[in-house]
Structure 1
Amino acid sequence: MTLTSKTLTGKVAIVTGSGRGLGLAYAQELARQGASVVINDVDQLIADDAVASIVTEGGQAVAVVAPVGSTATAQQLVAQAVESFGRLDILVTNAGVLRDTVVWKMTDDDFDTVINVHLRGTFTCVREAAIRFREQGEGGRIICIGSPTGQRGNFGQTNYAAAKAGIVGMVRTWSMELARANVTVNAVVPVAATAMTDTVPFFKAFNDAAARGETMPPFARRVLGYGTPQDVAGVVGFLASDAAAGITGQVVGSGGDRVQLWSHPEVVATAFETGGWTVESLSEDFSSLFGDKLQSVGEKLPELPAELQPVAK
């Protein structure tokens, strides 16, 4: 990390789940832009290393070691920002965990743990930040991290899909509620080589290349929009800046060489039946009216080029 650009000088940011991976990349980018940063992780050593990575480059950072989800942690994060740096301007809600399994094997704890960290944790942190922003009266930036799974679903991720879809729904609501306070609220949908994708065979070659410090091939960076955490950090830094003051309630995808704007759900077809629809009329007409407009689910990944196919052992 090299501290060169200073578009966020004087700003203070909280980044949850920022000890490593995407969260650390976001925190480092905000610091590079001049912001003072509150790091958050559940591991003291990892949090300390993250703080050191910023401080040794001339930035300012402190850590709050606590699991995201509870109101107490959210209050602690905001209080630490104010105590250490005097204010709060930016919140990035990134903390997350996975408990993947198919629905008939998913336990209550599997479901509740993911919902608590991702969905409730986003809510509690945003609520505390919104209170602080409104008290300060100078606006603010809220950036919530979503996922392609929340947009399209994914096999074995009932809990994660529900949480990430819920986050986007909250972002749209908060963008309306906080508009008069000059607080923008947006979601970022990242795609990057992280610990969460290390176990996916499709991405193994790309993750291995990134771990070796090699540049990922154009197929990954362009076709898949798949790169490093640092590739996504620029979008977060931009949305946190004054340059993004007019952007709110949006879902921005980022990964590799690609940036995308996701649409909001929209009606794709409408039909009317005088007197209302019955089981009989729907049985007769549904296919002809809507059959060619039914929506797909999940992500359809392209086939790997021959040179990137794993070698059989």
Structure 2
Amino acid sequence: MDLSGKAAVVTGSGRGLGLAYARALAAAGAAVVVNDVDAAAADEAVRQITAAGGSAVAEVVPVGSTEAANALVARAVDSFGRLDVMVANAGVLRDKVLWKMTDEDFDTVVEVHLRGTFTCVRAAVERMRAQGEGGRIVVAGSPAGQRGNFGQTNYAAAKAGIAAMVRTWAMELARAGITANAVIPVAATAMTRSIPAFAPHVEALEQHGTALPGSLRKGEGFGTAEDVAGLVAFLASDASADVTGQCIGIGGDRLALWSHPQEVSVAYADGGWSADAIADAWPVTVGRTPQTFGIPAPRL
């Protein structure tokens, strides 16, 4: 995969998945703007990339605001003369059940994930359209946004919104040659370390370098951050020119395409539906096979 001559921004790339993405893009030849709120982490990421022969600079700013998004795009243009790829990855968690979630818990997650993705992509698209050479938008989704997840009202809502934005952007940006896709990763990170079934394996990987077992890599599609990075490099490349508007899952040894919401069952009634008519028809028509929800528990 050759990304020579391309410039990319990767938000939240001081560590974890974002760092893996930035390193993979740089290894393929792209010049990368590393972004993080932790200056030390951003500088270390740049050091790793440049030590491996890549090109990278840091921009330390919390994503969310228009000013932050504009600063990231400006950093790419000032440093590399252009912007070809925006990877909107930055995120935070404030997990609580609905009745314990505060306004601040909700707003913080939505600000970083949903608004941060919107502002960064908008700023990137403005630059890409001005360049007139197309571009690549890669954003971070989540199984929680596709299925819902206990204790993650804020996070699931933001990630579902990101998936909806990708489908919209695929239509709006097509004429400009800009693709937009969401990566749905399942990987050993700080965000998955708290899942009891995964925790001992993540700890063994981090502390001893113990490889994740096949039951996780294949059975659960759960792997390392590096396992996800290849998909980001592909979506940043010319090889993905015909891939847009998609939510693509990856983790461990599994690559998957998520479906878009669609009607799965329909019933009709002459003159419309009263409440009583719906109550009578529900169990024998559209309600016969209700949709499931929530992320299935690991089968280990």
Give the TM-score, by structure 2 length.
0.98
SS in 2 for 1:252: strand
User: For residue 213 of structure 1, what is the amino acid of its counterpart?
Assistant: G
In the alignment, structure 1 residue 61 sits paired with structure 2 residue 56: yes
CA contact (8 A) 2:282 2:288 kept: no
Aligned position for 1:201: 196
Counterpart Cα distance in 1 of 2:112 and 2:170: 21
| RMSD (Å) for aligned C-alpha atoms | 0.8
In the alignment, structure 1 residue 260 sits paired with structure 2 residue 256: yes
CA contact (8 A) 1:225 1:257 kept: yes
Percent identical among aligned pairs is 61
Residue 87 of structure 1, CA deviation: 0.2
SS in 1 for 2:100: coil
SS in 1 for 2:267: coil
Aligned position for 1:284: 280
CA contact (8 A) 1:206 1:220 kept: no
Aligned position for 1:186: 181
Larger CA deviation: 46-55 vs 202-211: 202-211
- Map of 1:78-89 to 2, 5 A cutoff? 78-89=73-84
User: For residue 102 of structure 2, what is the amino acid of its counterpart?
Assistant: T
- Residue 290 of structure 2, aligned match among 287, 294, 311: 294
CA contact (8 A) 2:197 2:298 kept: no
Aligned position for 1:114: 109
Residue 292 of structure 1, CA deviation: 2.8
SS in 1 for 2:288: helix
- Map of 1:83-102 to 2, 5 A cutoff? 83-102=78-97
Residue 256 of structure 1, CA deviation: 0.1
Aligned position for 1:44: 39
For residues 1-29 of structure 1, the C-alpha deviation after alignment (integer angstroms, 9 at most, x for no partner) is xxxxx600010000000000000000000
SS in 1 for 2:276: helix
In the alignment, structure 1 residue 28 sits paired with structure 2 residue 23: yes
Counterpart Cα distance in 2 of 1:292 and 1:63: 54
- Residue 229 of structure 2, aligned match among 230, 233, 242: 233
SS in 1 for 2:99: coil
In structure 2, stretches of 5+ residues that fail to align are: none
Number of residue equivalences: 299
Counterpart Cα distance in 2 of 1:299 and 1:14: 30
Residue 266 of structure 1, CA deviation: 1.0
Counterpart Cα distance in 2 of 1:232 and 1:35: 17
For residues 248-296 of structure 1, the C-alpha deviation after alignment (integer angstroms, 9 at most, x for no partner) is 0001000000000001111000000001000111111101112332000
Counterpart Cα distance in 2 of 1:163 and 1:103: 15
Counterpart Cα distance in 1 of 2:116 and 2:298: 34
Aligned position for 2:149: 154
Aligned position for 2:160: 165
Give the TM-score, by structure 1 length.
0.94
In the alignment, structure 1 residue 103 sits paired with structure 2 residue 106: no
In structure 1, stretches of 5+ residues that fail to align are: 1-5, 305-313
